[in-house]
Amino acid sequence: MPKWLDDAVFYEIYPQSFKDANGDGIGDFDGIIEKLDYIKELGCNAIWMNPCFDSPFRDAGYDVRDYKKTAKRYGSNEDLVRLFNEVHKRQMHILLDLVPGHTSEEHAWFQESRKAEKNEFSDRYIWTDNWFHSPEGLNYVAGESDRDGVYVLNFFKCQPALNYGFLKPERPWQKGIDSPEALATREALKDIMRFWLDLGCDGFRVDMADSLVKKDDEKKSGTAMIWQDIRRMLDESYPEAALVSEWNRPYLAIPAGFHMDFCLDWKGNCYNLLMRDLEDGKNNSFFHKESSRSVLDFFDEYLDSYEKIKEIGHYCLITGNHDTIRAAYYLENRELKLAYAFLFTMPGNPFLYYGDEIGMRYLSLTSKEGGYTRTGSRTPMQWDHTRNLGFSSADQDALYLPVDASEDAPTVEVQMQDPDSLWNVVKEILAIRRQQAALQENANLELVYAKRDERTFAYRRGNLLMVCNPSGKEAVIEEAVLKEPEKLFEIGTASYQDGRYVMGAQSFGIWAKKMR
């Protein structure tokens, strides 16, 4: 495990929407550099940046046309290296977004692979041996190439699947995991990773990390074998490089070679129930004041995964990301404060999506670059109330996406000046996380109070006790007691009285003392 992950708090940047430095309406590397001090002041010491490579942008950069070249809209390779250097000057780290399972159909590899004549890239992607043979159980495209065959897709139509082999090949066109063709793809991926690590990036967030080997078993044993091989390369040559997987199966991802895995927003899963549980128009998200949920609806699933990997990797919670509806769509300001206090005091490395620290809203927008319903969570960062909320000096019609036009659109400038703002609560909690060794350990979570018919709950992390009451009524806990506790932080009113924790409506408290 890279040592720097012990206290890493990540800030996710969607580069086209974060800060436009050159006035063309699209965010860029120089804009990110301008705001590095802001990110560090907030309390984040690591960055995950969404894809920044050359792309036709049919899927917002997740359709890569050239893995070793940055997209012109953001700047040059040299500009990205300068970003790496500026990050490191501030004792911060940065992860690039790696897309290993597919490329753009405009990638040079695919343009060669689709040719009728045999060449070194013919088997870099997955093709059947005849235009009439469809790959059962896999999405594919037919009729668009000179080559006699159809090719497999990894997700969108614009994303042909790279060939890492099949777990159990059944037809002549299906290559094995250790076939020369599959090994060539694997080595090409390693080469891309080495290229950017040598230039100064600190690791990768891996898109669709479980999608490499086709017809894999439920344990993804074929895909795991590939990542274990890659991890051996990293451990030998880049031991401080970090890997976080988009998998949401930490008991598979961590043994496969990842240091971290995300707890993702999947409909009805434990994370979804915390902040985004909307069914038939009724908001039953746990942190919604009127919810009927117990926190056990979250912990029953979460702990099952966490306990399996707590000694070997991190299971990471997010405020949101570029694929999720912003939490402010479901929760009010006080509810967001409680939710973030919880997320930032849990094990693993927290990931804060840009703008969530000020409660940026989800906007209903027409799809942009394959964003569809996700587009409304990718709008420009709201810095102040100058032109375009401080994102860009460009004309409005040149902006990547429109800014929030509401008169009360939240901005960093306003919230920094308000001691009770969401921004200041986030900053204070992250400062506590940085100061308290117990919050930097990973294997010390204990749920000490939670009941099916109660909303209030408490959990320990080493010498710290966190108590939360998300309901609109006062609650009292007479268990989970520290001896002579010192209160470090509170939202609302949270007090210790004669061995009891008295929690006001919608409150959160952190206490420290040696456990009894």
Arithmetic mean of pLDDT, 48-72: 98
Q: How far apart are CA 448 and CA 451, in angstroms?
A: 10
Asked if residue 14 and residue 157 are part of one domain, the reply reads no
Residue 184 resides in a domain:
no
Q: 480 pLDDT exceeds 70?
A: no
Residue 312 resides in a domain:
yes
Q: 516 pLDDT exceeds 70?
A: no
Asked if residue 323 and residue 309 are part of one domain, the reply reads yes
Burial class (CB in 10 A: 0-12, 13-18, 19+), 112: middle
CA atoms lying within 13 Å on the CB side of residue 257 = 23
Residue keyed to tokens 């569809």: 372
Share of the chain above pLDDT 70, in %: 99
pLDDT digits (tens, 9 = 90+) for 404-427: 999 999 999 999 999 999 999 999
Q: 488 pLDDT exceeds 80?
A: yes
Would strands 140-141 and 93-98 be described as parallel, antiparallel, or unpaired? unpaired
Residue 156 resides in a domain:
yes
Q: How far apart are CA 89 and CA 511, in angstroms?
A: 34
Mean pLDDT of all residues belonging to the chain: 97
Confidence label for 195 from pLDDT (cuts 50, 70 and 90):
very high
Q: How far apart are CA 331 and CA 286, in angstroms?
A: 10
Residue 16 resides in a domain:
yes
Residue 459: which H helix or E strand, with range?
Answer: strand 457-461
Domain boundary among 139, 161, 183: 161
Residue 195 resides in a domain:
no
Q: 481 pLDDT exceeds 80?
A: no
Q: How far apart are CA 61 and CA 77, in angstroms?
A: 16
pLDDT digits (tens, 9 = 90+) for 276-306: 999 888 999 999 999 999 999 999 999 999 9
Confidence label for 513 from pLDDT (cuts 50, 70 and 90):
confident
Asked if residue 393 and residue 280 are part of one domain, the reply reads yes
Contact (CB, 8 A) for 359 and 336: yes
Strand partners, 49: 13, 96
Asked if residue 360 and residue 451 are part of one domain, the reply reads no
Q: How far apart are CA 360 and CA 354, in angstroms?
A: 9
pLDDT digits (tens, 9 = 90+) for 436-471: 999 999 999 999 999 999 999 999 999 999 999 999
Domain boundary among 141, 161, 181: 161
Asked if residue 270 and residue 404 are part of one domain, the reply reads yes
User: Which CATH number fits the domain that encloses residue 370?
Assistant: 3.20.20.80
Whole-number pLDDT of residue 134:
87
Q: 308 pLDDT exceeds 70?
A: yes
Q: How far apart are CA 96 and CA 194, in angstroms?
A: 12
Domain enclosing residue 488, as ranges: 444-512
Residue 384 resides in a domain:
yes
Contact (CB, 8 A) for 277 and 283: yes
User: Which CATH number fits the domain that encloses residue 119?
Assistant: 3.90.400.10
Asked if residue 138 and residue 69 are part of one domain, the reply reads no
Arithmetic mean of pLDDT, 48-54: 98
Asked if residue 495 and residue 376 are part of one domain, the reply reads no
Asked if residue 415 and residue 461 are part of one domain, the reply reads no
SS3 96: strand
Neighbour-count burial for 285-312, b at 16+ CB within 10 Å, e otherwise: bbbbbebebbbbbbbeebbebbebbbee
Share of the chain above pLDDT 90, in %: 96
Residue 491 resides in a domain:
yes
Arithmetic mean of pLDDT, 318-344: 98
Q: Residue 415, Cβ neighbours under 10 Å: how many?
A: 21
Asked if residue 406 and residue 468 are part of one domain, the reply reads no
Q: Residue 47, Cβ neighbours under 10 Å: how many?
A: 21
Asked if residue 426 and residue 279 are part of one domain, the reply reads yes
Arithmetic mean of pLDDT, 351-367: 98
Q: 514 pLDDT exceeds 80?
A: no
Contact (CB, 8 A) for 326 and 320: yes
Asked if residue 326 and residue 397 are part of one domain, the reply reads yes
Asked if residue 106 and residue 78 are part of one domain, the reply reads no
pLDDT digits (tens, 9 = 90+) for 2-30: 999 999 999 999 999 999 999 999 999 99
Total structural domains within the chain:
3
- List strands edge to edge, sheet with 475-477: 475-477, 500-503, 494-497
Whole-number pLDDT of residue 515:
52
User: Which CATH number fits the domain that encloses residue 468?
Assistant: 2.60.40.1180
Residue 214 resides in a domain:
no
Helix, strand, coil shares of the chain, percent, nearest 5, are 30, 20, 50
pLDDT digits (tens, 9 = 90+) for 82-140: 999 999 999 999 999 999 999 999 999 999 999 999 999 999 999 999 998 889 999 99
Neighbour-count burial for 172-210, b at 16+ CB within 10 Å, e otherwise: ebbbbbebebbbebbebbeebbeebbeeebbbbbbbbbb
Whole-number pLDDT of residue 484:
77
Whole-number pLDDT of residue 322:
98
Domain boundary among 145, 161, 177: 161
pTM, full prediction:
0.97
Which structure tokens are listed for 135?
């790959």
What lies within 8 Å, CB to CB, of 302 at 6+ separation is 263, 270, 271, 315
